[in-house]
């Protein structure tokens, strides 16, 4: 049986290889198709012409299944199975002739009729596959953020040094691994269970965790390479007292006190103050500040994601100060690069920089807005510390350049 089944065409500016890339992106994760079926569709598209995807045309191929089997190194039975799979999923129509014969006619580059494999359903599901691809991307980002929050909760559990707490966490997430968990609902359930367990213990005066600061430092290594296992034995390297690093006492809500309005707006749009949201906000702010992604990556590698996020937050604030202000950052990109280099050599007092900026932010509203001569920056040890830190960074960048 032959057919003249036509289709409505692809959107303007979209070609057959755009359609193929989109199909390959969503076929397995979005529709559960096999790798053989995906490879077969690629051969289908390669056998067609660009004009076959115009509105009102017939997009079909009539190559015998045994030819596809030879090209893919498979058996004809495997090809037939993959074709049935694609037909059941609604991506092709099989309309071969008697005894499964395939034939067709193309005149002046246009298919007039065909008995074989018709790709009209694939063409007309372009918009649906686009929506599926966007949904998969959003889901992947949600999974990544949820895993990051679970890793931070696991770190707090390990550093608490509470054996009972660790054993309870083991029942929620054995071995502390999330890399093999791809279900977002399950990840959210794990995150909420760990968070509720910590919250209950931290509010218990007898637990000794009420004053324990939340850890700011985290590993930037992929979880697949370094899974955050909850330790089964007491480690001699585990800290038994509150961390000495003053940065570990800085919480997301505290950091936002000195942030600019645009930065705070990003964090609020992401769901409020949390370290994953601050990391995301700083990453987005890099484009606005002219900071290259390679520089941001080096900062994450040198400081850790949270410290890199705090650095960008401070740079963003000081970049918006008026011209001529002694604390103003002239080049955010060079400033962050200089901070990375300084941290790798002599070290950098990021905690002191934050505290100085915080103090200046708290004192700023109390300054009298007298429209007289320009107000001089406030004097004092913290103000001088801020000036020395920012000036030192930019001097090192200029000298290195």
Query: For position 387, what pLDDT does the model report?
Result: 55
Q: Name the one residue in this structure whose structure tokens are 């965790």.
A: 209
DSSP 53: G
Residue 105 phi, psi (nearest 5) = -145, 130
Q: For the chain, how many residues are written? A: 401
**pLDDT in 10s for each residue of the chain, 401 residues:** 445 589 999 999 999 999 999 999 999 989 999 999 999 999 999 999 999 999 999 999 998 889 889 988 889 999 999 999 999 999 999 987 667 789 999 999 999 999 999 999 999 999 999 999 999 888 888 888 888 888 888 777 777 777 777 777 777 776 667 777 778 888 888 888 888 877 766 655 454 444 444 434 444 444 444 444 444 444 444 444 444 555 666 788 888 888 888 888 888 888 888 888 888 888 888 888 888 888 888 888 887 888 888 889 888 888 877 777 777 777 888 888 888 887 655 456 677 777 777 766 666 544 433 333 343 444 444 445 555 556 565 555 555 54
Q: State the pLDDT at residue 392.
A: 60
Q: What's the confidence (pLDDT) of residue 319?
A: 82
Segments of 43-139 assigned E as strands: 60-61, 93-94, 103-107, 110-115, 117-118
106 — phi, psi (to 5°)?
-120, 120
CA distance 152 to 239: 16
Give CA–CA dist 93/119, Å, rounded.
7
Task: Specify whether the CB–CB gap between 150 and 174 falls below 8 A.
Answer: no
Cα 245 from Cα 345, distance rounded (Å): 18
Q: Enumerate domains of the chain plus CATH numbers.
A: 16-124 (1.10.10), 133-233 (no CATH), 248-365+376-400 (no CATH)
Question: Under DSSP, is residue 113 helix (H, G, I), strand (E, B) or coil?
Answer: strand
Contact indicator for 307, 336 with CB cutoff of 8 Å = no
Neighbours of 102 (CB within 10 A): 19
What confidence score (pLDDT) does residue 12 get?
A: 92
SS3 call for 346:
coil
Q: Is 107 helix (H, G, I), strand (E, B) or coil?
A: strand
The DSSP bridge partners found for residue 107 are: 110
Q: Could you write out the DSSP letters of every residue in 244-275?
A: S-GGGG--HHHHHTTS-HHHHHHHHHHTSS-H
Q: What is the pLDDT of residue 368?
A: 36
| Distance in angstroms between the alpha carbons of the first and the last residue of the chain | 73
Number of helices (H) and strands (E), helices first, in the chain?
Answer: 16, 5
pLDDT of the residue at 110: 93
Q: What share of the chain is helix, strand, coil (3-state, %, to 5)?
A: 60, 5, 35
């Amino acid at each position: 049986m032959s057919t003249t089944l036509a289709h409505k065409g692809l959107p303007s500016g979209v070609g057959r290889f755009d359609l193929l890339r989109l199909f390959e992106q969503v076929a397995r994760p979005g529709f559960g198709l096999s790798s053989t079926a995906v490879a077969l569709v690629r051969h289908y598209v390669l056998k067609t012409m660009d004009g076959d995807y115009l509105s009102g045309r017939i997009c079909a191929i009539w190559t015998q299944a045994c030819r596809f089997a030879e090209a893919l190194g498979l058996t004809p039975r495997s090809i037939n199975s993959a074709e049935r799979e694609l037909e059941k999923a609604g991506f092709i129509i099989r309309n071969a002739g008697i005894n499964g014969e395939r034939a067709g006619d193309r005149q002046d580059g246009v298919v007039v009729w065909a008995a074989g494999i018709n790709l009209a359903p694939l063409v007309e599901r372009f918009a649906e596959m686009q929506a599926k691809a966007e949904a998969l991307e959003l889901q992947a980002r949600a999974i990544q953020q949820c895993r990051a929050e679970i890793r931070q909760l696991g770190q707090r559990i390990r550093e608490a040094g509470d054996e009972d707490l660790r054993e309870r966490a083991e029942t929620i997430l054995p071995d502390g691994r999330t890399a093999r968990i791809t279900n977002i609902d399950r990840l959210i359930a794990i995150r909420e269970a760990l968070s509720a367990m910590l919250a209950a213990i931290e509010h218990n005066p007898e637990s000794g965790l009420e004053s324990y600061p939340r850890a700011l430092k985290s590993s930037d290594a992929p979880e697949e390479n370094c899974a955050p296992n909850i330790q089964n034995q007491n480690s001699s390297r585990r800290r038994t007292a509150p961390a000495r690093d003053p940065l570990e006492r800085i919480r997301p809500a505290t950091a936002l006190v000195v942030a600019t309005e645009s930065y705070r707006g990003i964090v609020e749009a992401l769901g409020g103050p949390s370290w994953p949201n601050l990391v995301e906000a700083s990453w987005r702010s890099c484009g606005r500040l002219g900071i290259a992604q390679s520089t941001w990556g080096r900062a994450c590698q040198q400081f850790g994601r949270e410290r890199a996020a705090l650095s960008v937050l401070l740079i963003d604030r000081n970049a918006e100060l008026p011209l001529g202000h002694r604390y103003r950052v002239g080049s955010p990109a060079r400033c962050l690069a200089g901070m990375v280099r300084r941290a790798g050599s002599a070290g950098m007092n990021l905690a002191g920089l934050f505290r100085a900026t915080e103090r200046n932010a708290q004192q700023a509203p109390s300054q009298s807005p007298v429209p007289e001569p320009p107000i001089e920056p406030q004097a004092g040890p913290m103000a001088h510390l801020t000036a020395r830190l920012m000036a030192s960074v930019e001097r090192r960048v200029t000298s290195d350049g």
